[in-house]
Structure 1
């Protein structure tokens, strides 16, 4: 009986992956190249998020290399803190990547749309610690993420996070740096804006922006509700000192200041010990990173299932 079932499973594994492998449910989100749908593997009942890249949009915006790059990078990763690629297939009109289902919303929603802007200290610490682990996994693979922002950090049903949307990520050749004004206005590091060559440093700046926004309820160097032009935002990032309000305790203020150092050679995370220096910061003294990486730390917040429920 067991052997028969095993053979059935092996037959299933050998079937080509097509759109008929999945049941499709509602749209979870929309992006520049297409939509993300909730889907279910018919054979196993497992839920995933299917990122559909419309071929016409991809070609129009010359995004073929970007789409292929994201797929190849996802295939190389294996971390509980970064979305995983379960399947990939194409249809007549779309390129489809079937990814980890994250149905608890994104951090931008949690920071700005539930109660007062910002999150409590325990949640800030927990999410920052998990993001730090995700960044370190990417960096061990010589991958620079380059697009750290709250809407790219997703929560699962239990309250754990994963880094998503690796379309702008790039793999560094040994000892090399890259150059390119890539990312989202307001979250790009000074060296990116200044058209300098850079490496892993930009992701630690991104973590600093994320921690600042989770704490303050607004992004650094921008007032709540303010929408400065790109040139003004770039000027502030390169030259304006940070301001910290009353929501910042000593340890989180020090951590943000160290991560948001405008000089990448002095930025926390960019020194000899890399991400270990970030994990050793006193802000994280209550975090057992070994247990966190094993998935044994209980999240301080569980998303309300009804808010982000998938309609079958």
Structure 2
């Protein structure tokens, strides 16, 4: 594909600028529209100004095509093992051998993205509802995006986490590739933020959402998956108010080696032998015979034992720090400086986007947004981080954002230790990470009205009006 003049001019201008922001040469920039059409609390279409971009590198970006050793297919998900939707699918699969498009009733189009459209669907004969992503294989092949669709499917197959999507099944037809996932009736955080007073979240609500997103990113990094497209539009709200990260077609798969790091306690001398804390004189064996010198040694031993008991537990570090990609990928307002400069990037880009994400939830806008995409990129690379005077946000939150939005990735918070380091920041004081699924969400979505069979489809437009980005084929029946 030929690069359009606007993007070609953008690339040349950034490359020649004083901040030395340069794009690596390669395939043309492609616009991903998944951020531009999202689901509201009632599954209506909501517009957002942010869209993702992707341009694969023609250079040494081997990680994009590498096979992650952690990626695997699973027939069931332990944390969803008692889900009635699993049981309904298994009943049909056992009875008929396989599932196909004919087993589902498409109720409503929820949104469309760069590689497909998502529909609210019902498994026929049940009251089990799903979000079905339908991709036109011919269109993907023509635009050289089959690999991205395959990447998303392989990632979804291996996920088993409360804040990540469950892939119930996937199947192929002659024309379409279909992913059947769980449906989130609460819409996305972009839509929910727009409904807040002042269009920003209170600090406690923001802490809840970013804490759950942090755990999702930690899990992905543990699998060797760098997400690369975090933004409120891609964070969906489940029916219970907890979140679910979505859209993985821009993710990078790589190798990772989880490691347990033992933390030494400075209060205990590691070279001290255990028997040096005990009195070994025969006269001191009985309590009545304890001498002052031995009593002092016993007191020292008790303090040493207490210090040992409060010694920090080993830390699990599962950060794919060696991953490197040269692709230009992400959302303009969320792009990390190293991506814009074309210097190659790794897992630290997720922590940059995490800082932008927290900033947007707290202040209702992103910190480096300019008058256009070009200005935004210049601001990301060359403009210092600033906080608005209003709303008032606590010091801990601002300090966390400062640490995450350091422009040099090697100095950025979590660069080496990943989520483990962020969890220990004072902003998350009081968060019970082990029981976060039991915490009360800031907002519980209202029940979604499911279209009834034979209901009016007056909102349905003609196929030409229903065209999505890049002239996607849209179903004109429900």
TM-score normalised over the length of structure 2: 0.59
| Number of matched pairs | 297
Residues 41 and 231 of structure 1, relative CA distance in 2, 3 Å threshold: same
SS at match of 1:16: coil
User: Contact 2:193 / 2:361 at 8 angstroms: preserved in 1?
Assistant: yes
SS in 2 for 1:36: strand
From 324, 332, 340, the equivalent of 1:193 is 340
Report SS of the residue matched to 1:78: coil
Aligned to 1:249: 394
Q: How does 1:106-185 map to 2 (within 5 A)?
A: 106-174=188-256, 175-185=322-332
Alignment pair present for 1:23 and 2:97: no
Residue among 70, 76, 86 paired with 2:158: 76
In the aligned structure 1, how far is the partner of 2:160 from the partner of 2:95? 20
- Mapped to 2, the partners of 1:274 and 1:304 lie a distance apart of 35
Structure 1 CA distance for aligned equivalents of residues 240 and 435 of structure 2? 16
Contact conserved, 1:34 with 1:57, CA < 8 A, in 2? no
Task: Select which of 417, 424, 433 maps to 1:289.
Answer: 433
Which residue is equivalent to 2:411?
Answer: 266
Q: For 2:99, what is the secondary structure of its paired residue?
A: coil
Gaps of 5+ in 2: 1-86, 257-321, 453-478
Q: Which moved more, 1:127-136 or 1:33-42?
A: 33-42
Deviations 1:277-300 (A, max 9, x none): 1111111112101111xx222212
C-alpha displacement of 1:181: 0.8
Cα shift at 1:142? 0.7
SS, match of residue 105 in structure 2: strand
Match of 2:444 in 1: 302
1:275 corresponding residue in structure 2:
419
Q: Which runs of 4+ in 1 moved over 6 A?
A: none
Counterpart-to-counterpart distance in 2, 1:260 and 1:176? 20
CA distance in 1, matches of 2:180, 2:93: 21
TM-score, length of structure 1 as denominator length:
0.89
Task: Give the direction of change, closer, same or farther, for the CA distance of 1:11–1:164 in structure 2 (3 Å limit).
Answer: closer
Greater relative contact order structure (CA < 8 Å, 6+ sep): 2
Alpha-carbon distance between aligned partners in 1 of 2:435 and 2:358, rounded to the nearest angstrom: 21
Q: CA deviation at 1:56?
A: 3.6
Structure exhibiting the larger radius of gyration computed from Cα positions:
2
Residues of 2 paired with 1:12 and 1:204: CA distance? 43
Residues 45-90 of structure 1: CA distance to partner in whole angstroms, max 9, x if unpaired? 3221001112243123211010011101111111111112111112
Q: How far off its partner does 1:22 sit?
A: 1.8
CA distance in 1, matches of 2:418, 2:227: 15
* Matched position secondary structure for 2:334: coil
Supply the RMSD in Å over aligned alpha carbons.
Answer: 2.0
- Inter-CA distance 298–203: structure 2 relative to 1 (3 Å threshold): same
Instruction: Give yes or no for contact 2:122–2:130 (8 Å, CA) kept in 1.
Output: yes
2:38 matched to which residue of 1?
none
Gaps of 5+ in 1: none
Counterpart CA distance in 2 for 1:38 and 1:189 is 34
